[in-house]
């Protein structure tokens, strides 16, 4: 250690040699703890893909709800720049957000079904049979929801039910796809 002090110069070396360890006059921890607590702890949020999809659908649903609530029933409907006379009355009533969500969900389901079909050999037959039964039940529910939405084109609840049912199928397919990737 003495060689380290030689590099510091004689005055600084003498000052350092006179220093002694001693206890602080007061406990410093409460002040430090309060400063750390006031500052908060930095962190991050990890969001998975299904949560992002659900959040996107919630934004679409909220947008649709606001659009429906603010729409003047006496005003003619305009769908994607098409004149009101060219749009069927039933199609003009349902906000476009649900149609876009349905199309997006259909595409995602088709892609995941293709992926799962390619990887189905990795799943044991009993599990595959149960998955097929679940998907068949979801397909029936989607068909029922689509029939309900088509029968009541003004019913936003029916359109919402259709997109939620499709989202359930997408979630099952995502689980199966992730299960096949792990095996």
pLDDT tens-digit series, residues 103-138: 888 888 888 888 888 887 777 888 888 888 888 888
Please tell me the predicted confidence (pLDDT) of residue 68.
67
- Given a cut of 80, whether residue 183 has pLDDT beyond it is no
Average pLDDT over residues 53-78: 69
For residues 90 and 154, the answer to whether their CB atoms sit within 8 Å is: yes
Residues 24, 29, 32, 38, Cα dihedral to 10°: -150
3-state helix, strand, coil in the chain (%, to 5): 75, 0, 25
**pTM, two decimal places:** 0.47
Q: What is the mean pLDDT of residues 29-37?
A: 80
- For 10, the token pair is 């004689």
| Banded pLDDT at 72 (limits 50, 70, 90) | low
Which residues, other chains included, contact 120 with Cβ-Cβ below 8 Å and sequence gap of 6+? 128, 180
Q: Which range among 19-23, 84-88, 100-104 shows the weakest confidence by mean pLDDT?
A: 84-88
The tokens of 46 are what?
């990890």
Residue 129's pLDDT is 86
Where residue 79 falls among pLDDT bands split at 50, 70, 90? Answer: very low
């Amino acid at each position: 250690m003495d060689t380290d002090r030689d590099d510091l110069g004689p005055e600084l070396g003498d000052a350092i040699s006179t220093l002694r360890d001693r206890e602080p006059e007061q406990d410093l921890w409460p002040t430090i703890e309060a400063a750390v607590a006031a500052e908060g702890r930095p962190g991050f949020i990890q969001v998975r893909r299904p949560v992002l999809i659900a959040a996107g659908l919630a934004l679409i649903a909220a947008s649709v709800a606001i659009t429906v609530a603010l729409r003047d029933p006496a005003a003619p409907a305009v769908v994607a720049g098409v004149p009101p006379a060219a749009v069927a009355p039933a199609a003009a009533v349902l906000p476009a957000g649900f149609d876009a969500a349905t199309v997006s969900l259909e595409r995602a389901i088709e892609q995941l079904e293709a992926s799962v079909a390619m990887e189905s050999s990795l799943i044991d037959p009993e599990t595959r049979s149960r998955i097929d039964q679940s998907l068949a039940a979801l397909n029936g529910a989607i068909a029922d929801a689509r029939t309900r939405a088509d029968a009541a084109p003004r019913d936003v609840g029916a359109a919402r039910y259709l997109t939620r049912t499709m989202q359930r199928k997408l979630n099952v397919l995502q689980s199966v796809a992730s299960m096949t990737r792990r095996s």
